[in-house]
Structure 1
Amino acid sequence: MHMTDVLPAGDISKAVEAFAAPDSFNHKKFFEMCGLKSKGPDVMKQVFGILDQDRSGFIEEDELCLMLKGFTPNARSLSVKETTALLAAGDKDGDGKIGMDEFVTLVSES
């Protein structure tokens, strides 16, 4: 499955382009711009499945770094600062990774 199977390609492109500059990523704005925030939990779970590259049931720090690439392959990687901030925002139980429910909450609260 590809991200464009669940979100409009144009919205993804606009969102990724908006955060092309290093250290400019804002997850709240990104999730809104790409259209994910307006989707229901089922679509959010599909997106989670795409971002969970190793199928561990969690999005770990190394996968978070590549989050934009999960939306479109030619996107940049997140910086360490951006990755750390995203992990802090999404990791509600403090285990160092984001589970599916945490991801849905992260997107919904954005």
Structure 2
Amino acid sequence: MADLSAEEVQRVKDLLNSFYVNGDSSVVAELFGIIDRDGSGSLEADELEPIITAVTGKQLGAGELEAIIKAADEDGNSTIELNEFEGLLNNAQVKALLT
């Protein structure tokens, strides 16, 4: 899986800012598309962890990331689909981490 470029990391930061500061939920699909490195239509832990680290500079423990995914994973398949992604972003732990 390819690493995120500096430009992609900056774009993610800009989109997160639009989402959290301006309440712009129209950025959710673009943000999801950037993070979905394999184009599968779902986000796995190995796609979420590097972007969280790149954006925050913090390394999450496996248990923390698993808990975040589980809280937003409505269908129980251990991945986050687009329809679950906005819920993930609104998760209190994720919001505190990313803002």
Q: What is the TM-score when the length of structure 1 is the normalising length?
A: 0.59
Match of 2:67 in 1: 85
Which structure would you say has the larger RCO, counting Cα contacts within 8 Å and 6 or more residues apart? 1
Greater helix content:
2
Deviation at 1:48, TM superposition (A): 1.2
* Structure 2 residue runs without a partner (length 5+): 1-6, 93-99
**CA distance in structure 2 between the aligned counterparts of 1:80 and 1:109, rounded to whole angstroms:** 17
2:69/2:79 contact within 8 Å kept: yes
Match of 2:10 in 1: 4
1:42 equivalent to 2:26? Answer yes
**CA distance in structure 2 between the aligned counterparts of 1:109 and 1:69, rounded to whole angstroms:** 17
- Classify 1:6/1:61 alpha carbon distance in 2 versus 1 (closer, same or farther; 3 Å): closer
Sequence identity, in percent?
Answer: 29
What residue identity is the alignment partner of 1:104? E
1:105 equivalent to 2:87? Answer yes
- Classify 1:108/1:65 alpha carbon distance in 2 versus 1 (closer, same or farther; 3 Å): closer
Count of residues in correspondence between the two structures = 85
**CA distance in structure 2 between the aligned counterparts of 1:5 and 1:56, rounded to whole angstroms:** 21
**CA distance in structure 1 between the aligned counterparts of 2:69 and 2:60, rounded to whole angstroms:** 12
